[in-house]
């Protein structure tokens, strides 16, 4: 067992391990150690400060444990050089095997380079790997629904054809958020039935649960449910 694994097992919480394993049913329980996210975030920052983050980022992939994947995601999310982070994200994406790590990989530096990042985002959307597609949609949700929004991004996500639960749920989350931020641009896709039924209905559900959506809009969305 290496130094990082020893630290992780020293923080082990078996009840939390069982909780996380239940939330991530695509992976065996043995893949989880059971370390809470705030502790992992703090440890990732400590590895960065001490110059030891390469023990995670340069490790042979795939990682042995969920928590090692999480540390990798948190370390990359703090990276300050755009090209380096983009390259390392491209390297790690094929090895991501769960929704939690996928969603917590959010490099802060990407926000400053949205004009350059979009090329990679569009490539990720066309991947044949579940969590790479999910990550691409997540990038559009995180960085392209405000100042950098374009209607064409809505259509790119709408065009994704997938039977995968974790792809469709991220697409639904994206469109629900778009309803809150870019209502006039996105509502025609619901009115014209441009989304697959699962994404359409789940997005409406999420939007109607959101505090960012006015009550009159929620009532209208209820009528649009398929």
Q: Residue 98 pLDDT more than 80? A: yes
* Residue 26: predicted pLDDT: 93
193 by DSSP, 3-state: which? coil
* Residue 63: predicted pLDDT: 96
Confidence bin at 1 (pLDDT 50/70/90): low
Question: Tens digits of per-residue pLDDT, 136-185?
Answer: 999 999 999 999 999 999 999 999 999 999 999 999 999 999 999 999 99
CA-based nearest residue to 130, from 106, 95, 166: 166
* Residue 176: predicted pLDDT: 98
* pTM for this entry: 0.95
Give the whole-number percent of the chain exceeding pLDDT 70: 100
Q: Note whether 177 and 199 are within 8 A (CB).
A: no
CA-based nearest residue to 26, from 132, 131, 126: 131
Q: Tell me the average pLDDT of the chain.
A: 97
Please state, in angstroms and rounded to a whole number, the distance separating the CA atoms of residues 127 and 146: 25
Question: Tens digits of per-residue pLDDT, 40-51?
Answer: 999 999 999 999
Q: Note whether 13 and 34 are within 8 A (CB).
A: yes
The mean pLDDT value for 46-59 works out to 95
* Residue 195: predicted pLDDT: 97
* Residue 69: predicted pLDDT: 97
* Residue 111: predicted pLDDT: 96
Determine the straight-line distance between the first and last CA of the chain, rounded to whole angstroms. 52
Please state, in angstroms and rounded to a whole number, the distance separating the CA atoms of residues 13 and 22: 14
Dihedral sign (CA 86, 48, 96, 181): negative
Q: Residue 214 pLDDT more than 70? A: yes
Please state, in angstroms and rounded to a whole number, the distance separating the CA atoms of residues 186 and 151: 8
Please state, in angstroms and rounded to a whole number, the distance separating the CA atoms of residues 23 and 46: 27
């Amino acid at each position: 067992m290496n130094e990082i694994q020893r630290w992780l097992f020293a923080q082990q919480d078996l009840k939390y391990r069982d909780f996380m394993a239940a939330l991530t049913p695509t992976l065996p329980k043995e893949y989880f150690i059971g370390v809470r996210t705030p502790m992992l975030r703090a440890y990732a920052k400590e590895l960065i400060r001490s110059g030891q983050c390469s023990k995670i980022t340069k490790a042979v992939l795939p990682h042995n444990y969920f928590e090692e994947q999480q540390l990798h995601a948190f370390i990359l999310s703090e990276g300050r050089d755009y090209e380096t982070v983009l390259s390392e994200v491209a390297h790690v994406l094929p090895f991501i095997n769960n929704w939690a790590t996928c969603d917590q990989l959010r490099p802060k530096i990407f926000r400053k380079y949205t004009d350059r990042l979009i090329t990679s985002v569009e490539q990720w959307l066309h991947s044949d790997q579940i969590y790479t597609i999910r990550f691409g949609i997540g990038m559009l949700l995180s960085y392209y629904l405000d100042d950098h929004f374009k209607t064409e991004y809505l259509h790119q996500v709408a065009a994704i054809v997938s039977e995968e639960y974790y792809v469709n749920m991220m697409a639904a989350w994206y469109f629900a958020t778009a309803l809150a931020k870019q209502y006039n641009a996105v509502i025609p896709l619901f009115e014209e039935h441009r989304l697959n039924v699962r994404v359409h209905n789940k997005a409406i559900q999420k939007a109607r649960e959101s505090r960012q959506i006015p009550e009159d809009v929620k009532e209208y969305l209820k009528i649009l449910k398929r």
